[in-house]
A and B are shown apart, each in its own frame.
Chain A
Amino acid sequence: MNAMTKDSEDRRSQLRRDEADLIARCIAGEASAQEKLYRAHCRPVAANLYRVMGEKNDLDDMVQEVFVIAFRGLPKFRKEARLSTWLYRICVNVALGKIRNKVRRPPPILKADPVADDRRHSPESPETLLAREQSKAKVYAILDQMTPKKRMVLYLYEIEGHDLKEIAYLVGANPVTVRTRLFYARKEFYSLLAGSPDEEGAV
């Protein structure tokens, strides 16, 4: 058991060393290192952004923006957090910017979105799939009605399952502020989700 723990610790420290080496090479402007970093993190980054935004429109632009910001900021990366966490933080900020812009801009013309393979071969009936899609659309429609800051803390807490301290790091705010913001965000979100404006009070 101890040997297993030691093994996993060794592996972890090796990973950390590899990551530090990769970062150093990226800072030195080594294109192959940058490509390696991109290939290792592009899918998680895209997934994060996709989950926050709920749509594929401009997703490639956002992924690009995240990595461009990351490569610019790597020399300032202080390694207090893992690289993936730091990238996640950039994703949050890029998404926040996008949400703010979205409020100001008219909705984009949607592009035809072919059904992904996994859904095409799903054992579920088309009706069930449709119901799920509608449910997702409803959640995102409610999120769209919220202010960007509230939306982000709610998303990070309720969907991503982060705790207050993590959210505070990701959004760059005080944990107390995050707690207050989250309280109002949850109140607003579930009110809209439940859709019964007459309920008031509390037990």
Chain B
Amino acid sequence: MKHIAPHLLAQFSAQKTNPKATDRIEAHLETCSACKHSLSKIRIGRDTMKEIQAMGAPDLGWDHIATRIYWTTSSERRAKSNVQKRNWRRPVMALAALVIVAGVGVAFMGGNTEEAQGVATQAPLPQKDLVAADAAPAAIQPDESIGETIYGVVTFMQGEVVDGSQPILFDQDIVKGSHFSTGEGSLVVQFGKRSSFRLAKHSELWVRAFDTHRIELSVVGQVDVDIEKRGPEQAFVVDVGQQSVVVQGTAFRVEYREGQLGVSCTRGKVVVTDGQDNVHVPAGQMFSVESSQWDEAALRAIEIPLSRRSALDAEMAMPLLSTWGEAHQRNLDLSAVLEVVAPETQTVAIDGIRVGKGAFWLRTTIGRHQIAKLQKDGSLRDAAWVDAQGGESPSTVKFAQSVGSRSMRKVRKRELQGAIESGQKARRCLAPLAKRGLMVGSYIEFHVGINTDGRQRFLNIVDSNLSPAIQRCLRGAVDSETLSPGAASEFRLKLSF
């Protein structure tokens, strides 16, 4: 005798069989005790399933779970935001890349000794440092069949920079004959879509030739140059004492002080020559020589230490105007000057890009920019918007000196911590956690600003692994504390439990 399949018995039990099948099953069940037994088991099972369906949630540590969820999601958010914070470096690298990309695939000057010899200089070697360097290196007689005049624009200026004996005006044209000296400051000049040079502090630079055929700079001190690829007929020469550095499209640094010449190349290739001997310095290599010992020295470039390379790249990144056009006036019209005043040691980033420290002027595109303090860990603080508007007067942004000295911060921090620990409010907030034994390892970090009258100027939660409810409670507890009048201060306070 064939029995009824259990799943059909289940269907029968649920009254989901068709009338014909129902009749057959009922007929079978009247005669088959095994199937009857199976049916009763199935009915019990189905009843149990209904009970299961009605089962509610058991008691769980809801707050504990909430804390763990918050901890997990907030750590992920933090990790993400750190990635985003790190991503601010990309524009810096992009800026560097913008400059570097100009030289990729450059036709190196390696075999172009004719040109190298052509620029050999007979300039007298300046024996003095820049400030007294009245005896500037003699100009290499430029080719009289000059090309079209190039106009440079100052895109960054900091500290003491003079043109001859006059202070540099931000909107002045940088042309042949310009002569810059820097004290503690520095200067960046852009002279093409992707070409620029930076004169470092305590340096002096003469623009000997500045046209489409030839650019020639004489330098005492340090200059970083980044030029886009140039045609074979376009010479770019940096004269340093008795030697010249000849390039086509490349990024490099030349340092010439007290007769000591150093050339570091980060992209492309440069040739250092005295008119007779050439030293090829490809990307990633550096060359240094005592200028007067040129004849006896081993004329060989060496690798730039790996540890130094990335720092050099970063140092050599220069702010460029992205709206650069052929018409010089247009470059001035489409850009604006920002004056940034920050504490001397404070690095400032504009649109996420590290621009400079302390006070400086920057030529940038007209429009709204984000300006912020760049912290040592790469994060940005005190970000603000600034509208850069064209015109004669620069838009000024001032960053106040950090409030409170380090020792005062410590004192105020200790005062507040003591007040919180001696009070009962914070303890009450943590009571639910303490009850469950979950308090160990918990923490909360606040960013607190204290006024001179002892009241809190602001109070923000920076980080915590506690549940939002407990965080709110603790914030309330800290918020209710008032310190004695004293110095205004701003600090981070981490409470660990």
Contacts and interface: CB of A to CB of B under 8 A. Distances in A.
Main SS of the interface on chain B?
Answer: helix
Interface string A22-50: 00000001011011001100111111001
Interface in B1-31: 2-10, 21, 24-25, 28
B95 interface: no
B87 interface: no
B69 A191 contact: no
A153 to B, nearest CB: 13
Contacts of B52: 51, 54, 136, 139, 159
A42 B62 contact: yes
Contact of B53 (A39, A138, A160): A160
Contacts of B10: 186, 190
Interface string B393-408: 0000000000000000
Contacts of A160: 53
A67 B38 contact: no
Interface in B453-497: 467-469, 471
A64 B3 contact: no
Interface residues of A, number: 50
Contacts of A135: 44-45, 47-48
Contact of B48 (A44, A45, A139): A139
A202 B49 contact: no
Contacts of A196: 3, 6, 34, 37-38
A25 B47 CA distance: 43
A60 B65 CA distance: 7
Interface in A153-203: 158-161, 186-187, 189-191, 193-196, 198-203
A63 interface: yes
B49 A159 contact: yes
B49 to A, nearest CB: 5
Category for how many chain B residues contact A: 35 or more
Contacts of A4: none
Given A199-B6, A203-B25, A38 B53 contact: no
Contacts of B471: 31
B321 to A, nearest CB: 36
A47 B52 CA distance: 10
B55 interface: yes
Nearest to A52: B52
B377 interface: no
Main SS of the interface on chain A?
Answer: helix
B76 A38 contact: no
A201 B6 contact: no
A47 B471 CA distance: 28
A56 interface: yes
A68 B73 contact: yes
Contact of A193 (B6, B56, B469): B6
A167 to B, nearest CB: 15
B85 interface: no
Given A136-B51, A187-B7, A199-B3, A38 B44 contact: no
B58 A64 contact: no
Given A72-B73, A194-B42, A43 B6 contact: no
A161 B53 contact: yes
Contact of A139 (B7, B45, B56, B62): B45
Nearest to B41: A194
A47 B72 contact: no
B86 interface: no
Contacts of B49: 139, 158-159
Contact of B467 (A35, A51, A60, A67): A35
A64 B68 contact: yes
A138 B2 CA distance: 26
A134 to B, nearest CB: 9
Contacts of B61: 60
Contact of B60 (A44, A46, A201): A46
A86 interface: no
A63 B60 contact: yes
Nearest to A136: B48
Contact of A132 (B35, B39, B48): B48
Contacts of B368: none
Contacts of B74: 31
Given A67-B69, A161-B53, A195-B41, A29 B77 contact: yes
Given A50-B57, A67-B65, 20 more contacts: A31-B70, A34-B70, A35-B70, A35-B469, A51-B52, A51-B55, A60-B65, A64-B69, A68-B72, A72-B76, A138-B48, A158-B49, A189-B7, A190-B6, A190-B9, A191-B5, A194-B38, A194-B41, A196-B3, A203-B25
Interface of A: 29, 31-32, 34-35, 38-39, 42-47, 50-51, 54, 56, 59-60, 63-64, 67-68, 71-72, 116, 132, 135-136, 138-139, 158-161, 186-187, 189-191, 193-196, 198-203
Interface of B: 2-10, 21, 24-25, 28, 34-35, 37-39, 41-42, 44-49, 51-53, 55-62, 64-66, 68-70, 72-74, 76-77, 467-469, 471
**Nearest 4 Cβ contacts at the A-B interface:** A199-B3, A190-B6, A201-B2, A194-B38
15 contacts: A35-B467, A38-B69, A42-B65, A46-B57, A46-B58, A50-B55, A132-B51, A138-B48, A191-B5, A193-B41, A193-B45, A199-B5, A199-B6, A201-B4, A203-B28
